[in-house]
Chains A and B, each alone.
Chain A
Amino acid sequence: METLLDPVLIETLGTVLAALLTVMVLTYVLGDNAFFRTATFLFVGVAGGYAGAVAWYAVLQPTLVAPVLALDPGFLFGSGFLTDWAIPLFLVVLLFLRLVPGAGRLGSLPVAILLGVGAASVVGGAITGTIVPQTLAAMETLNPFAVAPATGEAGLERLGNALIVLVGTVSTLAYFGFGVKRGDEHGPRWTIQRVKTPIGFVPVPWPLFPFLGEIFIAITFGVMFAGALSASLLYLTERVQFLGSAIQFLLGGLGIAP
């Protein structure tokens, strides 16, 4: 089906609409207002509609409708008809029954299959892909002769990094100690105490490992916040550049060269 509208007109309208929506979202700087909420509702609606269209064109139509409409005897009377079409269609019907009062329990079967298969995949993948190999790798970092293939660290640099990883791991686990606390339940996890040393009494946070764990957690959150801030700044940069190019495009289209 050919497009009846001019592509240039569509691009122009799209650019204007995108610029307008961008400005409406940026008005949130002034506070929550109708322009911002209108743009937000519009994005949510368009995203939902687009997802539904993709589900139809990418999943339902080619897998459930097209094979039957094709009337391919090889498919209709083949072994794949039952496993690839009939059983999935039956599960879809059962899932729709959840909307029917009184028959909702029949829809529990496809939901149970979805959740069971999904949980099995996630747990299995987490064990074989993350927990076991990462634990072994963490233990391997204590080997001063081991070399990280990605970073090429070795020697004292490797040993220093291994000690940092070790202290950070143990102290973070100590911070999240889920035991019964003595004294005040809502009190701090550590306090400053004066410890006798050869050079005299030195104030030391005690217990030490929860204190170190809190420091490591704070550094980690700081790094993640910096990354998120960096990404957000890039989003803003891209939108501002788009607005600038859109203004130039519209002014050029109107014959007003900047």
Chain B
Amino acid sequence: MCQTENEIGAEFCRLCHARLPETPIGPPPESEGEAVSDAGQMPDWLSRLRQEVSGETPSSPPPEKPAADDGLEWLGEMPQVVGEEEGPPPGEVPEWVGETQPPSGAQEGEVPEWLARIRAKAKGSDAPEAEGTVEPFQEPEADEAMAEESPPGPPPPVSEGAPVIGEEQSDSLGLPEWLMGAQAQEQAPEKPSEPERPAWLEGVTSDESQELPRVPALVIESDESGVPADIDLSDISSAIPDWMAEDAPAESKPDRPDLAPATLPAWLEAMRPVDTFRSVVEFDSTEEQAVEAAGPLAGLRGVLLAEPVVAMPRAPTGETTRLDVNEKQFAQAELLHRLVEQEKQEARPRPAERRRPGVLRWVVGASLLVAVGLPAILGFPSFDLPAFAPVDLASLVGLVETIPAESTALLVFDYEPGMTGEMEAVTGPLVSHLMERGIVMATLSTRPGGPALAERLMARVGATHNYIRGEDFVHLGYLPGGPAAVELFATAPQEAVPSGYLQDPEAGSVWESPVLTGVQALSDFAVLVVITSGSDDARVWIEQAQPHLGGNPLVAVVSAGAEPLVRPYYESTAPKVAGMLSGLTSATAYEQRLGRPSLAHARWSSYGLGLLAVEVLIVLGALGGLTSLALRLRR
């Protein structure tokens, strides 16, 4: 079928000349050629209603049930829906039937408007086709004449003597080679009025209508007796694959005197593979056929399933690629797009938020400044000096007392300038004690600023003991390299520190100074004093230098914050540190013991009042925290 829209009542397609299904409503057949009656396709109840409304007499007897050997037993076995086929009782016409107009013979005036438009277009396109090479649309009368001229039955078999469509003509059709091969074997029927262009192509070009034709896919015709005829698949044989054509029964095309021989166009007839025909329709048995479960056909067996049609792959249309999104979905998509774009951007560090300090911070700062400043500037209040000296101080004093006079001590200044407030106050008494003992000293530092700090302390303390730089003490200077340099100095001091700090170049090397006379190794120093504000520096000197001291003591002067981490080296049963000095309390006690009040004494009152203020603030803070906790729990 070419699916062309034909006029109502037409028996053959105006383009492909295939037989068309008969319409249920139409003019009564005027000849025997149109043997198919309307009543034969109507249910009984509908025929009865029609007779009652129009007063017509039945034109043909009611159709008989098909014979059992027709091969359509499955149709008779279809379940009967109760009440549907019976219709209303005789003599009662339903209301909806009465409202409709009775059918009349003039069908042209009753067709809908859209169908009339299609017909008008079809008629308009038929005129040139009739003059041209395309076979015109055959009216029933013309069909009748054609049926008389043409022998009934299927198209004549192809003979070898029949003319074959030339290559030029086939080339004009644009057919593939496999079809050309089929043309070479088949012989088209002789058509004197064979058009240069196929008829279907002419019809397509002349039809300007954009509406798609609607034609049933399968046409089952009935003969005069009302028995459904066998399905004539010769018209669609060109679309049948070979594997289906092989099983086609030879007697599946009975003689059909009502069919015109020219039901197929010439080009289609030429391509028809007669030898490889087989039936397309294969019906399953009744038990294997599925039962429709939903819809108006519920309960019927063997109906055509819509799922294969719906799920059939097809070319996507433009509308399917278009997303139907609402406003909310569009907003979410935009949000996702922004998130992805933000991920691509480099995250810049956010500047630290500057907050104004709270009142509590100002109160704490002011309290500490007042507590420290009052004794330092105004001299009051004054705190009593410590009555008890730390235990460590006695052992340190005893250690210094055992150092031989005129020996050389090495002082390591490993602290930053910011720590001088504590370290000078703590170290001062020890250096003063060493100077009292007449011990000459050499200073060293692993920090660039250390030599300057050493000079500052030695100059201040040495002034009270008449110690002169270069004669009583020297500065070895800066020792770069960290722990490795300390190890190098411990093994070869003169190689590690070739030049000193603030050393007169004309006086030669620092190692030629009278202070370092006889010092060739680390063990030649009578004592090693490590003055540091951090535990790491003290640990480095303890680990790297202490084994090279040859039994001479190592004294650690550390900040109060580093004392807990250095003390294990001092309190061990195998101590690495022989003496330890830490904190202002020990320094003040040391100065008391020496009878030389110095920096520790000067800062004692300020330190004491500052500690008192800190303790009061800590207690107040703890009370405030407990109060707020109690209030929260109470709530």
- By a beta-carbon cutoff of 8 Å, the part of chain A in contact with chain B is 26, 29-32, 47, 50-51, 54-55, 58-59, 62-63, 117-118, 121-122, 125-126, 128-130, 133-134, 136-137, 140-141, 146-151, 220, 223-224, 226-231, 233-241, 244
Partner of A150, one of B395, B419, B451, B614: B395
Q: CA separation between A241 and B542, bound complex, in Å?
A: 34
Decide: A230 and B611 in contact? CB cutoff 8 A: yes
On whether the beta carbons of A229 and B498 are closer than 8 Å, the reply is: no
Query: Given the complex, which residues of A lie within 8 Å of B539, measured CB to CB?
Result: 130
Task: Give the distance in Å from the alpha carbon of A137 to the alpha carbon of B540 in the complex.
Answer: 19
Q: Is the CB of A234 within 8 A of B422?
A: yes
Residues in chain A near residue B547, CB distance under 8 A: 128-129
Of the candidates A26, A54, A227, A241, the one whose C-beta lies within 8 Å of that of B560 is A227
The residue that A231 contacts in the complex, of B373, B561, B578, with Cβ under 8 A, is B561
Indicate whether A136 sits within 8 Å of B377 (C-beta atoms), given known contacts A125-B543, A130-B539, A150-B395: no
Identify B574's interface contact among A31, A117, A125, A136, CB under 8 A. A136
Bound Cα distance from A63 to B498, whole angstroms: 8
Q: Could you tell me if A220 and B564 are in contact, using CB atoms closer than 8 angstroms?
A: yes
* B348 on interface, CB distance cutoff 8 Å: no
Q: Report chain A residues within 8 Å CB of B368.
A: 233, 236
Output the nearest chain B residue to A146 by Cβ-Cβ distance: B573
Chain B residues with CB below 8 A from A117, complex form: 484
Indicate which residue in A62, A129, A224, A229 contacts B564 across the interface (CB closer than 8 Å). Answer: A224
Contact status of A151 and B571, CB under 8 A, knowing A54-B448, A233-B607, A234-B422: yes
Interface centre among A62, A118, A121 (most CB of B within 10 A): A121
The answer to whether A148 touches B449 (Cβ under 8 A) is no
Residue pairs across A and B with Cβ atoms less than 8 A apart, 6 shown, are A29-B357, A29-B365, A58-B499, A227-B560, A234-B425, A237-B607
Cα A221 to Cα B182 in complex, Å, equals: 101
Q: B189 contacts the other chain (Cβ, under 8 Å)?
A: no
Which residues of chain B from 545 to 569 have any CB-CB distance to chain A below 8 Å in the complex?
546-547, 559-565, 568-569
Q: Which of B448, B499, B543, B578 contacts A129 (CB 8 A)?
A: B543
Closest chain B residue to A247, Cβ basis: B377
Q: Is the interface of B mostly helix, strand, loop or mixed?
A: helix
A81 to chain B, nearest CB (A): 15
8 further contact pairs, Cβ within 8 A, besides A62-B498, A125-B487: A30-B357, A54-B449, A58-B477, A130-B539, A134-B572, A150-B395, A230-B560, A231-B419
Q: Which residue of A lies closest to B355 (CB)?
A: A31
> B588-619 CB contact bits vs A (8 Å, 1 = yes)?
00000000000000110011001100100000
Contacts of B610 in A (CB 8 A): 233, 236-237
Interface pair A150/B584, CB less than 8 Å apart: no
Interface size on B, residues (CB 8 A): 73
Question: Nearest-CB distance from B474 to chain A (Å)?
Answer: 14
The CA of A244 and the CA of B606, in the complex, are separated in Å by 12
- Asked, given contacts A58-B477, A149-B575, A150-B575, whether A234 binds B498 with beta carbons under 8 Å apart, the answer is no
Q: Which residues of A contact B499 (CB under 8 A)?
A: 58, 62
A118 touches B483 (CB 8 A): yes
Q: Is the CB of B354 within 8 A of A140?
A: no
Which partner residue on chain A sits nearest B450 by CB separation? Answer: A54
B residues within 8 A CB of A140?
Answer: 573-574
Q: In the complex, are the beta carbons of A31 and B421 less than 8 A apart?
A: no
Question: Which listed residue, A126, A137, A227, A238, touches B603 by the CB 8 Å rule?
Answer: A238
Are A121 and B483 interface neighbours, CB within 8 A? yes
Which of A29, A58, A150 is B570 in contact with, Cβ under 8 Å? A150
Inter-chain contacts of B543 with A (CB < 8 A): 125-126, 128-130
Closest to B605 in A: A237
Contacts of B560 in A (CB 8 A): 226-228, 230-231, 234
Q: Which residues of B contact A58 (CB under 8 A)?
A: 451, 477-478, 480, 499, 501
Contact of B606 among A47, A227, A228, A241 (CB under 8 A): A241
Q: Which 10 A-B pairs have the closest CB atoms?
A: A238-B421, A129-B543, A125-B543, A29-B365, A228-B561, A227-B560, A137-B572, A227-B561, A51-B448, A234-B422
Most buried by A among B547, B561, B583: B561
Complex CA–CA separation, A231 to B426 (angstroms): 11
